[in-house]
Amino acid sequence: MKAKAIKYIDNYKDILSDSESIKRVRNDILEGDTYIFKDAVNKKFVLQIREYLKGIGKGSLPNYHPIEMNAPNFHRVNIWDDRAFVKGCFHQFTFFPWNQDLLSIFNKTKDIYHLKNLINNQPKDKFLGSVPDDGCTARLSFQFYPKGIGGLNKHSDPVDHHQLTVPSLIMSKKGKDFSSGGVYVEDMNNDKIYLDDLCNIGDVVFFNAQVPHGVDVIDNEEEEDWLTFEGRWMMIFATNKLYNNNQIQDAIDLEADGK
């Protein structure tokens, strides 16, 4: 599976109640097309989230918790950790639907999950409840990639009953927040399509989770500095299996040499 056409939709809410449009988008994504839903999340809200997460990142120690029922919201640092299924370097902030947060992020972005579920032929509220469903749960995963070091190996994610696509919210502007690197999908010629070049803050990108994709190192020539939080931000509308669920495959790192 490789990336094909890039398609744009100005108002994603127009298709939430249109079963034919949902079917068309699903079929396109199955074939490898990428959809960019413009201005899907209010830019002012996105920037507010960034400031909120910076405060958490600077004011508390990072830690890790497995994905399980009643897990707390948390943040962690991954610096090319050999234990990860996909090698990467980023500061991650995780939110679960059974926890509350000051900005009510799940509630304010739930329509994106509804669209994701409908595209995958699932009830729109699937996985969004206060208890896991079919061994899986929704999870908001914010990832900050610092200049000089932040990146993520090329990989593919599992497609199963829980997801066809892993939507991602663009939270930084290339050319302003960072200059080089960023998220890409690999096309039929094995070339990289850099999605940050095509997006603005607040856009949400949908593509087939099995399409090879990754994050090239952000501003590779810059000196790394985690505490300034200068670099690239994104949010993934994830649906993850619980840590003890062996029915769904893991993501596959496609860079054998690692980092």
pLDDT per position as a tens digit, 51-104? 999 999 999 999 999 999 999 999 999 999 999 999 999 999 999 999 999 999
pLDDT value at residue 247: 85
Q: What are phi and psi of 144, to 5 degrees?
A: -110, 125
Expressed in angstroms, the distance from the first to the final Cα of the chain is 24
pLDDT per position as a tens digit, 81-93? 999 999 999 999 9
Percent of the chain with pLDDT over 90: 94
Asked if the model's pLDDT at residue 258 lies above 70, the reply is: no
pLDDT per position as a tens digit, 107-139? 999 999 999 999 999 999 999 999 999 999 999
Asked if the model's pLDDT at residue 7 lies above 60, the reply is: yes
Residue 182 DSSP SS3: strand
Q: How many CB atoms lie within 10 A of CB 228?
A: 11
Q: Which parts of the chain fold into alpha helices (H)?
A: 19-31, 43-59, 105-119
Sign for the CA dihedral angle at 201, 230, 194, 18 comes to negative
pLDDT per position as a tens digit, 169-194? 999 999 999 999 999 999 999 999 99
pLDDT class for 32, splitting at 50, 70, 90? very high
Q: What is the mean pLDDT of residues 225-253?
A: 94
Q: State the DSSP H helix or E strand holding residue 18, giving kind and residue range, or none if neither.
A: none
Residue 4 DSSP SS3: coil
pLDDT value at residue 257: 59
Long-range contacts from 119-127, C-beta under 8 angstroms, 24+ separation? 119/22, 119/25, 119/26, 119/29, 119/164, 119/165, 119/206, 120/26, 120/161, 120/162, 120/163, 120/164, 120/165, 121/26, 122/161, 124/16, 127/97, 127/162, 127/239
Q: What is the mean pLDDT of residues 32-50?
A: 98
Residue 236 one-letter amino acid: I
Closest CA to 101 of 111, 92, 93: 93
